[in-house]
């Protein structure tokens, strides 16, 4: 719901406030009944917004992600389905642009590029999280790059960033992290695998 509500608000603003022809891609099946109700209410209240159903490819979560949060499993199913299914869906709708969620940008941008439509990434979180997402690949390159020198440079560059408990990160980010110690002021913190 945390990404769905801002997206539906954007769809309404573009459709009602700016007169844009808007289609909203909805992933099916939804993860929760709250999502289903919210989507149904949106299309009932704003019939000008077209619904494009993205029927997700099956994902055996019990084998690959035992005990995982259902919302994370839903996100993973979307991430795997978008490269295969989004292109034909958008082409059939005659899309002239795509607004992709940041969580799916890595798989949606190539689809938009293939269709020759502009793609805008909609980031629904805080500026701090945007900074983290933008810097994280650089951090990983430094930690896993060529030699100890670049890992040391990366560690010193990131030591000014406030620590974040690894448990607060999405599972996909936690798998990439190497335990490390921060020193900021007089406190010492640890981030790493959980």
> What residues form DSSP beta bridges with 27?
54
Is residue 173 among the annotated active site residues?
no
Helix 33-45 crosses helix 4-12 at what angle (to 10 degrees)? Answer: 0
Catalytic residue among 69, 101, 144, 173: 101
- Mapped onto helix, strand or coil, the DSSP state of residue 115 is helix
Is residue 69 among the annotated active site residues?
no
Tell me the two tokens of residue 153.
Answer: 């440079």
> What residues form DSSP beta bridges with 89?
none
Q: Which helix (H) or strand (E) holds 71?
A: helix 70-93
Catalytic residue among 3, 18, 60, 141: 3
Positions marked active-site:
3, 101
């Amino acid at each position: 719901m945390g990404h769905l509500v801002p997206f539906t608000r954007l769809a309404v603003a573009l459709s009602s406030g700016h007169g844009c022809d808007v289609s909203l891609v909805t992933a099916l099946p939804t993860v929760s009944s709250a999502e289903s109700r919210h989507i149904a209410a949106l299309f009932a209240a704003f019939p000008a917004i077209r619904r494009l159903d993205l029927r997700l490819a099956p994902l055996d979560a019990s084998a690959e992600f035992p005990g995982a949060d259902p919302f994370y499993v839903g996100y993973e199913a979307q991430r795997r389905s978008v490269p295969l299914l989004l292109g034909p869906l958008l082409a059939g709708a005659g899309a002239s642009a795509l607004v992709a969620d940041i969580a799916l940008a890595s798989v949606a941008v190539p689809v938009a590029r293939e269709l020759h439509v502009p793609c805008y990434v909609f980031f629904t979180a805080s500026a701090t999280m945007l900074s983290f997402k933008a810097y994280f690949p650089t951090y990983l390159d430094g930690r896993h790059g060529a030699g100890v020198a670049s890992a040391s440079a990366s560690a010193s560059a990131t030591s000014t960033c406030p620590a974040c408990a690894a448990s607060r990160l999405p599972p996909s980010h936690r798998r990439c992290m190497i335990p490390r110690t921060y020193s900021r002021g007089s406190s010492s913190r640890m981030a790493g695998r959980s």
